Amino acid sequence: MEISTLATYHCLAFVWYFFVAYSITHVKTEERPSEVFLYGGQWKYLTVLNLVLQAVFYGVSFLADVLRLIKKLRCAKCIISSRDLLFSVLAFPVSTFVCISFWTLYTYNRELVYPKSLDGVIPLWLNHAMHTAVLPFALLEIFALPHRYPVKKKGLILLGFVAFLYISWVLWIYSVTGEWVYPLFALFSPPGLAAFFAGSIAIIFALYNFGEFLNRMIWGQSKFS
């Protein structure tokens, strides 16, 4: 794909994610159901954090494209390294995990992850923008250009550390409020919850490996942007 085309795509993707993140973080206070958006606000939800992550990633990608267009290759090389690290370790596995886990649990019992009371607050298009469109965007990025993945051990350690930070945030909120971020967690005993978190980390590690596999199958080992 031509650099100018990539720049246009990344710019549009950045604007889209910025708009979606802005929309969800500016839900009117008086319209929010009493059981959601309390301590930690929207920033306790992985879905919202992922929107910010995607906006940052596409912003960095657009900057890399612009630097390449204006022939600032030394600066571009550094930004491209940051872009590829963001995509491989976080943007692809997290967005894929958000889509798959949300719709799996929603299909089983929506009240565990997305109470029906939210339907009157969050429009259908915004729900799909947060939980559905993130997967096609992630896949499109893989097909649009190659990304250099870090050494697997390093990539998994970084991803595991971020997962640990989010789990710690969830547990901190529970320790302060006595309420779980997602009603699903209340169904588990402490050992069961530990097993659930461990299983979730295993799934997101598998998604990291899947992204690396797709990147290698499409672009091979040697061609990188």
DSSP output for 59-83: HHHHHHHHHHHTT-HHHHHHHHHHH
Determine the Cα angle at 56 with ends 91 and 157, to 5°. Answer: 40
What pLDDT, on a 0 to 100 scale, did the predictor assign at position 223?
A: 45
Decide which of 75 and 224 is more confident: 75
d(C-alpha 23, C-alpha 32), whole Å: 14
Q: Which residues of 165-190 are buried (b: 16+ CB within 10 A; e: fewer)?
A: ebbebbeebbeeeeebbeebbeeeee
Percent of the chain with pLDDT over 70: 92
Residue 146 lies in a domain: yes
Residue 33 lies in a domain: no
Instruction: Give the chain's domain count.
Output: 1
User: How does residue 89 score in pLDDT terms, banded at 50, 70 and 90?
Assistant: very high
Residue 225 lies in a domain: no
User: How does residue 222 score in pLDDT terms, banded at 50, 70 and 90?
Assistant: very low
pLDDT of residue 1 exceeding 80 = no
Residue 194 lies in a domain: yes
Report the Cα–Cα distance between both ends of the chain, in Å, rounded. Answer: 10
Domain that includes residue 176, residue range:
5-26+39-219
What pLDDT, on a 0 to 100 scale, did the predictor assign at position 224?
A: 43
What pLDDT, on a 0 to 100 scale, did the predictor assign at position 225?
A: 41
Residue 81 lies in a domain: yes
Give residue-wise pLDDT tens across range 107-147.
999 999 998 888 888 899 999 999 999 999 999 999 999 99
Among 117, 109, 126, 149, which residue's Cα sits nearest to residue 47?
Answer: 126
Burial (CB count within 10 angstroms: exposed 0-12, middle 13-18, buried 19+), residue 144 = middle
Residue 224 lies in a domain: no
The answer to whether the beta carbons of residues 92 and 141 sit under 8 Å apart is: yes
Residue 32 lies in a domain: no
Residue 34 lies in a domain: no
d(C-alpha 81, C-alpha 140), whole Å: 19
